[in-house]
Chains A and B, each alone.
Chain A
Amino acid sequence: MNTFYYEFRESVRIAFAQITAHKMRSVLTALGVIIGIVAVTLMGMAITGMDTSFESSLAMLGDDVIYVQKWPWGPVVDWWNYTNRPPLQPIVATELNKLIEAAPSTLLDVAVPVRVRSGTVKRGDNSVGGVYMAGTSGDYGRIITADFREGRLFTETEAESACAVCVLGCDVADALFTNVPAVGQTIQVRGYPFQVIGVLARQGSFLGLFSFDTQMILPIKAFEKDFGGKNIGAEIRVKVKDKKRLEEAKEELIGLMRRVRGQLPGESDNFSINGEEAFKEQLDPVKKGIAIAGLFVTGLALFVGAIGIMNITFVSVKERTKEIGTRKALGAKRRTILLQFLIESISVSVIGGIVGIILSSSLCLLIGHIFPKLPISFSPVLVVVSLLVSAGTGIVAGFAPAWGASRLDPVVALRYE
């Protein structure tokens, strides 16, 4: 056991002497591993980042809210089965709420109609385009996930009387009101004035695609009065009482919807029930695909690095054949020689790995500095994984040449010129 330890120490010493003696060649060899490890860590960062942004985005949709819509979320092939469905009108929400109130042990809390369009919000010379406008009822406050930064939501009465009031997402409010508080001010949409009564706290964006902070919430009656679009239909958002029983709640909602719609048994639903897990189903294969493609690419980069190490170890064994013969003559066993060359290949590889980790963590810091919104982070797990992967690469790449070296006939090795 002691012998092994002494041999190990001597091998490490020789490995480093060897690496420093051939600096250029070691750097070039390590470069392959560096690229591989940077690829591995960046991929790991991207995947975990994607996961966290996905999870937080789903939370924004509300994990206790079910969406009743004409179309399902996700791709539709048989579009002809959906296009003739009757549009959902706000009255459906009213009907649903009546049924929910009448049901004693219901799992549903409240249904809220929402009409949606996109538009430009103006104040004097300032304007913000692409604002997501949601016309809804006074019950909206019960399903909303965001907090109010200032002000409040419109009341039931204000909603019913089509009051020209609105709540702004924080980005819209900040763009229009730089110095004055937004609440109490008036903004304009398509020439219609609305009084700002509240501003939502920052929520962030959904998968980086859709920002929740560029929205405007207004009474649905006001929406209909000023923007029309009654025949387009709305969506109904239904909050459940217990999100752990979401599936049961959905079943109940389907039943209630069919009653509202007066559908006959056997007839298929003429509405779609959507929830966040539809996104999960949609995105899981995407995530898996990205992970597999990522693994493949990083695997390829590491493979190239491994070939470089294997090559250089073969060269090293060849160059030092006489040394191997001498060591054997002095009593080095097979495993001693095997260990020596394995340690050399592992050293190059792990040094490459460490440089790779340093590179990609600084890259991560840099990206985080330039794009603070990107949810990337460099985890200690990635460091451990990278070190293991680079050590493994060194072992795999160095094994064949080291094995060959350990098997050399000492007489032949000593004769080698």
Chain B
Amino acid sequence: MSTLRTTRPIGPLVIDIDGVVKLYQMGTETIHALRGISLKIHRNEYLAIMGPSGSGKSTLMNMLGCLDTPTAGRYEFNGKNVAAMVDDELADIRNREIGFVFQTFNLLPRSDALRNVELPLIYAGIPSDQRRERAQQVLEEVGLGNRMHHKPNELSGGQRQRVAIARALVNKPSIILADEPTGNLDSQTGIEIMALFEELYKLGNTIIVVTHEEDIARHARRVVRLRDGLIESDGSVS
């Protein structure tokens, strides 16, 4: 069984970073959050990024998600040079190509599930009837067809994260980035969320999950381990 998993998925290259460095200036001190990371991620990979606290996982994630640009190094996303892009161009890439799932869900408190899921489509300029249709479809896919008009505070933690996942999926992004997606959930709900990711992966999505729990990382097909801003190991799950 495990030998099957060692075969790498062969899809087109989505993420190609090379020698990426990220420095933070704290007063006079320079913090090396990333010291030279090189990574290639293909379509329909399921990848976990692991490492101890402070190793640079979130920093790398922000970089991959085009929320941030590297201090040095090269970053190509679907062949486009992201490192040279300005704010609004990055916003466009994030909107069309990347789906974010946060540890704290980050839903808009005053909007119901449907409107939360519709939000990326608004920024993409999709007309409202198409928006509604697509958002309903994705909410049904994550099993919330009967919770569309609930506000976040009327949903359980697991349901909130499902809404967030639906929101990440709604624009049919190239990759889904999840930073500690189960960090705020009890273990049973966490398992359910990971099962949902598994399902999405099987449907052909590309998923990158940041976690420091081995149990969670075990769901992925490939694990990248960071330590002190460097890749310590990168390999298939055995």
Binding site for B on A (CB under 8 A): 2-3, 6-7, 10, 14, 17-18, 21, 322-323, 325-336, 409-411, 414
Contacts and interface: CB of A to CB of B under 8 A. Distances in A.
A277 B235 CA distance: 97
Interface stretch (B4-12, B122-130, B132-140, B200-208): B122-130
A410 B167 CA distance: 18
A344 B190 CA distance: 37
Contacts of B95: 330-331
B108 interface: yes
A327 B125 contact: no
B102 A7 contact: no
Given A330-B94, A411-B67, 4 more contacts: A329-B100, A331-B92, A331-B95, A333-B88
Contacts of B104: 322
Given A330-B167, A331-B96, A10 B122 contact: yes
Given A3-B125, A6-B128, A334 B65 contact: no
Contacts of A409: 68
B156 to A, nearest CB: 20
Q: Which of B104, B106, B124 has the most CB of A within 10 A?
A: B106
A403 to B, nearest CB: 14
Nearest to B121: A6
Contact of A6 (B88, B100, B108, B125): B125
B124 A331 contact: yes
A57 B133 CA distance: 69
A87 to B, nearest CB: 82
Given A3-B125, A7-B123, A10-B122, A333 B91 contact: yes
Contacts of B125: 2-3, 6
Interface in B67-95: 67-68, 87-88, 91-92, 94-95
Contacts of A336: 123
B67 A332 contact: no
**Interface size range on B against A:** 20 to 34
Given A6-B125, A7-B122, A329 B110 contact: no
11 contacts: A3-B125, A6-B125, A14-B108, A17-B111, A21-B110, A325-B106, A327-B119, A329-B94, A331-B123, A411-B62, A411-B68
A11 B94 CA distance: 20
B229 interface: no
Contact of B67 (A2, A14, A414): A414
A18 B126 CA distance: 24
A323 B123 contact: no
B56 interface: no
A332 B88 CA distance: 8
Interface string B123-160: 11111100000000000000000000000000000000
Given A330-B100, A411-B62, A18 B110 contact: yes
Nearest to B88: A333
Contacts of B124: 3, 331
B51 interface: no
B181 interface: no
Contacts of A6: 122, 125-128
B39 to A, nearest CB: 19
Contacts of A325: 106
Contacts of A411: 62, 67-68
Contacts of B65: 329
A336 B92 CA distance: 12
Nearest to A327: B119
Contacts of A3: 122-125
B122 to A, nearest CB: 5
When A and B form their complex, which 10 residue pairs have the shortest distance between CB atoms, in order from nearest? A331-B95, A3-B125, A331-B123, A17-B110, A326-B106, A333-B88, A330-B120, A410-B67, A333-B91, A6-B122
A402 to B, nearest CB: 16
B88 A329 contact: no
Nearest to B90: A410
B92 A326 contact: no
Contacts of A327: 119
Contacts of A331: 91-92, 94-96, 120, 123-124, 171
A410 B88 CA distance: 12
Contact of A330 (B110, B111, B123): B123
A251 B23 CA distance: 88
B67 A329 contact: yes
Contacts of B102: 326, 414
Interface in B162-221: 167, 171
Interface string B28-55: 0000000000000000000000000000
A307 B228 CA distance: 47
A324 to B, nearest CB: 11
A14 B100 CA distance: 22
A334 B92 CA distance: 11
B80 to A, nearest CB: 16
A323 B95 CA distance: 16
A344 B98 CA distance: 29
Given A3-B125, A6-B125, A334 B110 contact: no
